[in-house]
Amino acid sequence: MIKFMDDFLTGFRLPMSGFRLIWKEPRLRRYAAVPFIINSLLFILMFYFLYAYRVEVVELVWERPENQMMLKVLWYMLAVFMFALVAVLSYFMFTPVGCLISSPFNEFLSARAELLLDPMKKDAEIPFSIKDMGRSLVAELIKLGIMLGIMLVVLLLNLMPAVGSLLSLLVGFFAAALFLTLEYMDYPLSHNAYKFREKLNAVVYNMGWSLGFGSGAALLLLIPLLNLFCIPACVVGAVRLYIMLRREGGMPQAAAAERESDIVYDDGEVV
C-alpha cells in the first residue's frame, strides 16, 4: 500500500511537471504552440455552438410551450439541465477530440521531449511521415471509441437504484484516470513501437502510476484556461512517466524484452 501511494503521488505530479519543462525549454515551446492554438480554437468553438444552439438542443426533447406558465417554468428548468448536461459532456470530450485533431503535432512534441529528457539516445532525429500521421489518427479514433463506451457504461450504472450514483462515480473516476493515462502514454509508446495491447498492459501493470497520472491530468482539465495548456503538458509528462517506468523496470516484461535490442545509447548501454 505504501508503494502504491508513493507511485500514485509521483504520477500525480508528472502532468504539472510538463508545464515547467515546456516553460523552461524553447525547443519544446515551439512544438507545444500548435496544439495549444488548436485546443484554444476548439474550446472557443465548442462553447460558442453550445450557447448559439442552446434552444434547439432543448427543443429536440420538448418544444417550448407558448401559453401555460407552469409548463414554461418546467421547460426552462429542463433547458438549464440540458445545457449543463451538454456542457459537461462537451467538456469531457474536449481531451479526446482535441488529441484527435492535434495528434500529429503531439507526436512531434512527444518525440522531442523524449530526446531532451533522454539525451543519451543514439537517434538524434525521430522521423515522422504521412504513414505515422495516419497511424496516430487511427489510434486516436480507437481511443475515442473507448471513451464513448466508458461514458455509456457510466450512464447505465447511474440508472441503477440506490447505489447507482455511487457506483457510476467510482467507476467513472477509475476509468477516466486510466483512460487519460492511456491517452497520453500512447505517444511515447507508439514511437517506441509498442502495440495497442502492450500499451494497455503497460497502463494496467503500473496501476499506482497510472491512476496518479490520470488523476493529475483530470485535475488540470477542471481548471479554466489552464486546461488549454493541459494537452501539451500531459504529453510531456507522459514522456517522463515512460522513461521513469522503463528505467525502473516497470514496463511489462513481454513488451520490454522484445525491444531491448532497439533501445541503444551512445555508450553502448541497452535499457
Mean pLDDT is lowest, of 20-24, 61-65, 173-177, 259-263, for 259-263
Would you state the pLDDT for residue 233? 92
Assess whether pLDDT exceeds 90 at residue 212: yes
> Per-residue pLDDT for 43 more than 50?
yes
Write out pLDDT tens, residues 123-142.
545 555 556 666 666 776 77
Higher pLDDT, 195 or 89: 195
**What does the alpha-carbon distance between residue 14 and residue 215 come to, in Å, rounded to a whole number?**
10
- pLDDT of amino acid 237: 94
Q: Is the pLDDT of residue 265 over 50?
A: no
Percent of the chain beyond pLDDT 70?
A: 77
Residue 235's pLDDT is 92
Mean pLDDT (the chain) is 77
Residue 259 CB partners (closer than 8 Å, separation 6+) = 192, 193
* pTM confidence score: 0.73
Residue of higher predicted confidence among 80 and 117 = 117
Query: CA–CA separation, 100 vs 184, rounded Å?
Result: 12
Q: How confident is the model at residue 254 (pLDDT cuts 50, 70, 90)?
A: very low
- The DSSP line for 35-95 is HHHHHHHHHHHHHHHHHHTHHHHHHTTSPPPSS-HHHHHHHHHHHHHHHHHHHHHHHHHHH
Higher-confidence residue: 267 or 121? 121
The closest alpha carbon to 115, from 231, 27, 30, belongs to 27
